[in-house]
Chains A and B, each alone.
Chain A
Amino acid sequence: EPEVTQTPSHQVTQMGQEVILRCVPISNHLYFYWYRQILGQKVEFLVSFYNNEISEKSEIFDDQFSVERPDGSNFTLKIRSTKLEDSAMYFCASRERRGEPQHFGDGTRLSIL
């Protein structure tokens, strides 16, 4: 069964450094999402992406965050200057079309030192 894949599984970065989290959504999917989950807390929506542009973003997704779909397969989340509070699990999800469920990857654990 096709699945969403995320790399790396664990990323350790110094505070203030840039980090790029990578996702390969399911191939025929058109809608893409990033979520994060701080340890012990709820899964939080960050951003949705459709037709090569951001369709919606949350308050968390400030100017330090950006997303890109550089080619036909990858979907990336960039954090420009990481802070300690960016430490979390980051989940990518994709969806084929409206009404269909989102399918999630297994996440990247981001640790900011």
Chain B
Amino acid sequence: DAKTTQPPSMDCAEGRAANLPCNHSTISGNEYVYWYRQIHSQGPQYIIHGLKNNETNEMASLIITEDRKSSTLILPHATLRDTAVYYCIVGEDNFNKFYFGSGTKLNVKP
């Protein structure tokens, strides 16, 4: 089962930052936090991941709390093309099978 909890849906105005929260209170020390998104029925698209430190790449920023029990994905300037289901996944370092939850449906509105 998924070890994460996310709100089922969120709205965001185009051009504004989208902040998507995720709770993973049972995360263990060797588990990473991964974020993916899925547009329609396409394959999940990797966005960003982290272990302890905050991370930033060209797509997004990932803020992980100090106790690692929750994280936030930030899309700094959301566009209509960012409308998708966003998944927060906790994966262990080993063979790392992913359990997908229901994710957050992000609706970016003009």
Chain A interface (Cβ < 8 Å from any Cβ of B): 4, 31, 33, 35, 37, 39, 42-45, 48, 50, 55-56, 58, 89, 91, 93, 95, 98-99, 101-107, 109
Contacts and interface: CB of A to CB of B under 8 A. Distances in A.
A46 to B, nearest CB: 9
A48 B95 CA distance: 7
A36 to B, nearest CB: 11
Q: Which interface class (under 10, 10 to 19, 20 to 34, 35 or more) fits B?
A: 20 to 34
Contact of A102 (B2, B41, B46): B46
Chain A interface, DSSP helix/strand/loop, else mixed = strand
Contact of A31 (B95, B99, B102): B95
B44 A33 contact: no
Contacts of A4: 43
Contacts of A101: 34, 46, 49
B98 A102 contact: yes
A50 B95 contact: yes
Interface in B17-55: 32, 34, 36, 38, 41-46, 49, 51
Nearest to B101: A42
B95 A104 contact: no
Given A42-B101, A42-B102, A98 B42 contact: no
Contacts of A98: 93-94, 96
Contact of A37 (B41, B46, B49): B41
A104 B44 contact: yes
